[in-house]
Structure 1
């Protein structure tokens, strides 16, 4: 996607914000963003889905599948088509990714992919791309070490720059109060690991995915800043540790203006160069 002019990216993302994409359009859009190759995905999926998993890992995947997006029609039946598909995709990916293997949280990502990319081999390919080209593997690996060392301090630097009053407030109540190095760890883990699943209403979460798949990781930071800005006035009124954490961890029923939030995220326009400069400072 690097060869696409920035002005065209702007037009496409504005359309995403304005309109609700039909499922078939979203499916095609995600496949395009992820640059999925039919033959390659099928070949690799057949290879890795036919390999056996250690019993303990297989059992864990099965347990997690049974907890994944159960309210959605596709996954409501135990051992129904949706759950079986999800198990097979996760099994194949665990065999493929010998470094991280299967980690909790992956089932949600794969579960959402399968709803909009129902072909198992393509959903497997999509999961591969998210963890490699979109670098989710960096966050999941080594007990979420990358998330803690990269995402937490980077987002806090951005909050201190764009939302200084809120940063001071959160740092004072959450970090100093509990002697924590990074207050972000109290609430953003699922925002990034599960790409805002259950942290935003479903239609808004899908638009976040659309934006993320088009712009990459910087979009998640922009969305996080926009969400915090939308909640800022209320958060500043809370001076109790538990109340603050509760509000920050229960954003799934966000009742603010969704279009305004997305437009504001777009205006933050965090880019890869900006992230790399911050990461270089906070990780060394």
Structure 2
């Protein structure tokens, strides 16, 4: 069937949707324009001949254009014509009016219903009307969509319109490419960030773990960590059993936070003992007076670990921020040597803000900040408690250390201040932290006592002070994996909380007794002390008088010697002046004689003059002879 398709007036929105050209292009098809239908292929596309060109257009687009034509505001006309109504170029001649029934038919007509006339029209096409898919069709010089949309027959305007469309197409393509590039850059940044995070996490956890964590333990911890989000109290015996079986290195930071939450659900600090409610970000904006001390200790904290080894690298900067924030939060403690190692262990397993919260938990909730106070009273009590434990449970070792005058402060103070992190392997320290988050400060005593008891035989073999100290600082921390696992098992099974409490009370009682006894002695024997002090002062005065007399005698002797030296100096100066005057007189006399003597006589006298200059005394004696 050969028929005519009405050219509806297209709104800007319809054109923008159909052609992809922005609506402000004001593209439209002139009302009443007729296009000859050439062929319908597979019921999907229509091919039109416009301006000697074949154009392919989707059928659903034609339906859409016809549906969205504004027939109310504009007078829509269309006409049917035969093949004779087309000129050679295939352009419509005179549009004819169609009825509303035909308009409805054209909207819903199926492209598969072809009449014989349409087939005849197909057979009568010339080479310029062949389909684009046909190998005999000539190459298209213009885009069919642009030709269809353009209703102008002027070639110059069509060329300008084509250039405008090409520019719009290029701009649209460039914008799409830029959007795609931005999306790709964002995805690349996310991938790089995740890759850096994984690499940083791998570097942080670069230590040998103590013990092997089984898959069943991993599943158990996963279940417990789910309960952590709901803030549900868990059975402490169950937690103790799971912690004894092992902790996965990759989830250790989350498990520490879980243990801290369980502790806070059971214990609440009084309001006076709670830390100030200041956020970590606000603290970082402030300045601290402890900055120099913190910077000095950055290079000393885990110097061999790759995360902290780089000078002012990511690890050291995070450590500086954490220590700075805590020094501003806790004005009483500020910064003390040893806190950097505790903060470093926390940073290896969690982010800065999480590490800050866990540091506050250790310091305030578990009470570790007492040992960092300026008076160090808590540390002294801890040293006394450790000595009493050795005295009660390992008497031979205690006596051996006392005989060599080795107090716990020489070797155990770094253990308590750094929680074993400054001298022992990180895998062992991490296991110690696991138990600390569960049981608190008494874990330090358990670990210290187990270390000394396990190596008691080797310590007893050390015969002098230097050997014992060297063994405790160097050999003792160098344990193998089996020894560490054995020690951790002992710590879990040990219970010394009652003994520690009794020793602390004992320390305070002894301190009060010593103070009272000193006060009593001062009140009962004030006169004796004064007399002893008076006699000591008298002896000191006599000694000072004797020393003063000796000093006076020395001064007089030195003054007399000085006077003698001064007189001799004046005599020598006068003698030097006299000799210089005589020398000048002799030189003048020689010059006068040289002027009076003839030349050959002067030549004979030159040896004498040389002798005179070399030895003036001999010359003087020679001159006195007749």
- Calculate the TM-score normalised by the size of structure 1: 0.85
Contact preservation (8 Å) 2:411, 2:473:
yes
Q: Choose the corresponding residue for 1:49, options 278, 284, 289.
A: 284
Match of 2:253 in 1: 27
Look up the SS of the partner of 1:107 in the other structure. Answer: helix
Match of 2:469 in 1: 245
Contact preservation (8 Å) 2:257, 2:358:
yes
Match of 2:325 in 1: 92
| Residue 280, structure 1, aligned to residue 505, structure 2 | yes
Contact preservation (8 Å) 2:386, 2:408:
yes
Match of 1:225 in 2: 449
Question: Taking CA–CA contacts closer than 8 Å with sequence separation of 6 or more, which of the two structures ends up with the larger relative contact order?
Answer: 1
Q: Distance in 1 between matches of 2:344 and 2:393?
A: 34
Give 1 or 2 for the bigger CA radius of gyration: 2
Contact preservation (8 Å) 1:187, 1:249:
yes
**Mean Cα displacement is larger for which, 85-94 or 157-166?**
157-166
| Residue 167, structure 1, aligned to residue 398, structure 2 | yes
Q: Distance in 2 between matches of 1:225 and 1:89?
A: 31
Closer, same or farther: CA 127–10 of 1 in aligned 2, 3 Å: closer
Structure 1 gap segments, 5+ residues each? 176-182
Look up the SS of the partner of 1:283 in the other structure. Answer: helix
Q: Distance in 2 between matches of 1:42 and 1:23?
A: 31
Q: Choose the corresponding residue for 1:192, options 413, 416, 421.
A: 416
| Residue 71, structure 1, aligned to residue 304, structure 2 | yes
- Calculate the TM-score normalised by the size of structure 2: 0.40
| Backbone CA RMSD of aligned residues | 2.4
Match of 2:429 in 1: 205
| Residue 147, structure 1, aligned to residue 387, structure 2 | no
Q: Distance in 1 between matches of 2:494 and 2:429?
A: 18
Q: Choose the corresponding residue for 2:245, options 9, 15, 21.
A: 15
Q: Distance in 2 between matches of 1:241 and 1:160?
A: 19
What is the deviation of 1:277? 1.6
**Mean Cα displacement is larger for which, 3-12 or 195-204?**
3-12
Q: Distance in 2 between matches of 1:276 and 1:162?
A: 16
**Mean Cα displacement is larger for which, 241-250 or 21-30?**
21-30
Consecutive aligned runs of 4 or more in structure 1 exceeding 6 Å deviation: none
What is the deviation of 1:228? 0.5
Q: Distance in 1 between matches of 2:469 and 2:309?
A: 31
Structure 2 gap segments, 5+ residues each? 1-232, 265-274, 510-626
Contact preservation (8 Å) 1:41, 1:125:
no
Deviations 1:142-200, CA, capped at 9 Å, x for gaps = 1533212x11000111111221221121122225xxxxxxx111100111110111432
Closer, same or farther: CA 46–75 of 1 in aligned 2, 3 Å: same
Closer, same or farther: CA 5–278 of 1 in aligned 2, 3 Å: farther
Match of 2:114 in 1: none
Q: Distance in 2 between matches of 1:198 and 1:92?
A: 22
Q: Distance in 2 between matches of 1:126 and 1:269?
A: 25
Match of 1:268 in 2: 494
| Structure holding more helix per residue | 1
Closer, same or farther: CA 269–5 of 1 in aligned 2, 3 Å: farther
Q: Distance in 2 between matches of 1:67 and 1:171?
A: 32
